Amino acid sequence: MTRRAVTFRIKATLSRLPAAQAFARNEIQRHCVTDAILNRLELVCEELFANVANHAYPDGTGDVELSCMTGRDGAGNCYFCLRVRDWGLPFNPLSAPEPDLEADLDGRPEGGLGVLLVKRMADNCHYRREDGANEFRACFKI
């Protein structure tokens, strides 16, 4: 995939979520996408950013880096990808078990719904741990 990347790094706190969403929204809007794609991106950005802010740094302090990139895959499809990087605890959300959506709410363990949402909203997702950083990429066909 050929890429043009734009990067934004901020503190990983929930108070910075609106700035993260504005960054991603501004970048994807350059590509004349539908409202449906824009809404999916905003939900994915919110979930990924909130996960980093709430779970990546046990002491509560750290940065998150958002990168937006566009490109084409080998079949010529155009994609917009949001990459979220943090330097917190290692965690691959794609290896987490899927929540049992049929289970009674009182008996269901907490967590997992956000990752499921991300996987369903994005057209494809990738995770890797490299150089002490978690890197999660959610891509949307545009």
pLDDT band at 33 (very low <50, low <70, confident <90, very high): confident
The whole-angstrom separation of Cα 17 and Cα 53 is 9
Residue-level pLDDT at 72: 85
pLDDT digits (tens, 9 = 90+) for 48-86: 999 999 999 999 899 999 999 998 888 888 999 999 999
The whole-angstrom separation of Cα 125 and Cα 135 is 11
Selected residue with higher pLDDT from 1 and 139: 139
Selected residue with higher pLDDT from 116 and 135: 135
pLDDT band at 102 (very low <50, low <70, confident <90, very high): low
Q: Where are the alpha helices (DSSP H) in 2-137?
A: 17-28, 35-51, 113-121
pLDDT digits (tens, 9 = 90+) for 125-135: 999 999 999 99
**pTM (predicted TM-score):** 0.86
- Angstrom distances, CA of residue 71 to CA of 31, 40, 102: 11, 19, 38
Residue-level pLDDT at 138: 96
pLDDT band at 123 (very low <50, low <70, confident <90, very high): very high
Give the closest residue to 54 by CA, choosing from 88, 3, 94, 102.
Answer: 88
